[in-house]
C-alpha cells in the first residue's frame, strides 16, 4: 500500500499546482483523458474475454464462476441453518 499512498499524495500535490489546474481546464486535455479511460476499459474487457475463452477451452473455472459458486454455497448454508431450526 505504500506505493498507492505515495501516488495519492503526489496526485493531490499535482492537482494543487496552478499549471496543472490550467492544463486540466483545456478541453483537448480532458477529451484525451476521457478517451484514455475508455480505451483502458475496452482493453480490460477484451483481456477478460480472452481469459474466459482460454479458461473455457482448458475446462477451468473463471473468477466470475468461482464467485457465483461461493455465493450459491453461502445461500445454501443459510438455508440449511434455517432448516435445522
Tell me if 21 sits within 8 A of 15, measured CB to CB: yes
Place of cell 477451452: 57
Tell me if 37 sits within 8 A of 31, measured CB to CB: no
Q: Residue 40's pLDDT band (boundaries 50, 70, 90)?
A: very high
Q: Residue 9's pLDDT band (boundaries 50, 70, 90)?
A: very high
Q: Where are the domains of the chain?
A: 2-84
Determine the average pLDDT of the residues in 63-81.
95
Determine the average pLDDT of the residues in 18-33.
91
Q: What pTM was estimated for this model as a whole?
A: 0.57
Say how far apart CA 64 and CA 51 lie, in whole Å.
11
What is the percent of the chain with per-residue pLDDT over 70, rounded to a whole number?
Answer: 99
Q: Residue 85's pLDDT band (boundaries 50, 70, 90)?
A: confident
pLDDT of residue 33: 92
Amino acid at each position: 500500500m505504500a506505493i498507492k499512498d505515495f501516488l495519492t499524495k503526489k496526485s493531490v500535490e499535482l492537482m494543487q499546482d496552478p499549471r496543472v489546474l490550467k492544463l486540466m481546464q483545456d478541453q483537448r486535455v480532458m477529451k484525451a483523458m476521457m478517451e484514455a479511460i475508455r480505451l483502458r476499459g475496452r482493453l480490460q474487457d477484451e483481456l477478460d474475454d480472452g481469459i474466459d475463452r482460454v479458461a473455457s477451452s482448458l475446462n477451468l473455472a473463471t473468477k466470475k464462476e468461482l464467485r457465483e459458486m461461493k455465493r450459491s454455497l453461502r445461500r445454501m448454508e443459510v438455508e440449511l441453518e434455517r432448516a435445522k431450526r
